[in-house]
Structure 1
């Protein structure tokens, strides 16, 4: 299996690591790839430059041998469409199941993604669902959920794509946007960040103002 976890990671925080570790455990993965995007299609562009985001990711995943980086979206020009990355991965691994890890917020708006139905045919969607989070879908996305959802994670190993699994997750309230607001007031150690990421942010004086791209 190939597992991909995409995002801006601006900055990467303990919630991201928690999600990824739960996914590795549930599917007994050897490797999960963090795939930072350059220009997200559905969010504002990251305020921190690519070099800093990659450095923070490397610092965060260093203690975990099963985490690696996939930097393909940073090397591509234009918006970071997940479809393009999944097409590349599928072409390189035509017979391997691909897991695409996303959060509940992303799943609830999946039908707004670029060619979202094509994405569901290239990979299995794994949605990290914390206890209080609700699925809020309708129309074609609801129809996809009803048709594709499985309750046994092992089912995703029996086909290369097309399934949907809701991964039960621990409640850990960490959001990059809130962390950035906190860091703007003080970039000292933040309890929602890995220590190595806090140290990097402090060392480079990141997130202290709105235009912090140095």
Structure 2
């Protein structure tokens, strides 16, 4: 089974997350996408609402999609959650499964600062998504690339393409130019603080949950 592993704070989840996951699943022919909201992320601390709320908003957002699955493996963990530990646990739970770690190019470039980065890039294949303000050619200086460096600029010039490069760990990284959505969790939180509408940025039931629980507008 081929499974996409989509982690993050999802603070809150929005249509950009959902569309990215759907395009990854469709273009790579994955059996499912596993959403894993972080409990206490090691590198992000500000403006993050409790994991129970972020988990519940994701649960609501994923309803009705048989290819999207939600895991609380990091939300249940005491202390900080590290991707290496999460992947180790997932491989124990799903033996024989090939995982594809889905993340933006900005996050991939930051991997050298993560916990046990060399171990991480040896444990999983990657799906690296385009991000506004970032070019795939910025990956040329990555210590993890083995082949495909000359390809990076060509990917930047193309539209909605999928290309594969090999990592030194003999794992693969799929470079995916996703459909630009232009929605961010930061934008949504700012709009809520300013009393602006967030309609059409996230699923209506997620918006209702945010309003009901007074998230992002009061201390929560």
Output the TM-score relative to the length of structure 2: 0.83
Higher relative contact order (CA 8 A, sep 6+): 1
| Counterpart for residue 145 of structure 2 | 145
SS at match of 1:145: coil
SS at match of 1:90: helix
SS at match of 1:2: strand
* Contact 1:13–1:192 (8 Å) recurs in 2: yes
Structure 2: gaps (5+ residues):
152-161
* Contact 1:148–1:164 (8 Å) recurs in 2: no
Matched, 1:171 2:172: no
SS at match of 2:36: strand
Counterpart Cα distance in 1 of 2:196 and 2:62: 21
Segments ≥4 residues shifted beyond 6 Å:
148-151
Matches within 5 A, 1:1-214: 1-44=2-45, 47-130=48-131, 133-135=134-136, 136-137=138-139, 139=141, 142-147=142-147, 162-186=171-195, 188-209=197-218, 211=219, 213=220
Structure 1: gaps (5+ residues):
none
Counterpart Cα distance in 2 of 1:104 and 1:152: 14
RMSD: 2.5
Relative to structure 1, is the Cα distance of residues 52 and 92 closer, same or farther in structure 2, using a 3 angstrom cutoff? closer
* Contact 2:129–2:178 (8 Å) recurs in 1: yes
SS at match of 1:5: strand
Output the TM-score relative to the length of structure 1: 0.85
SS at match of 2:77: coil
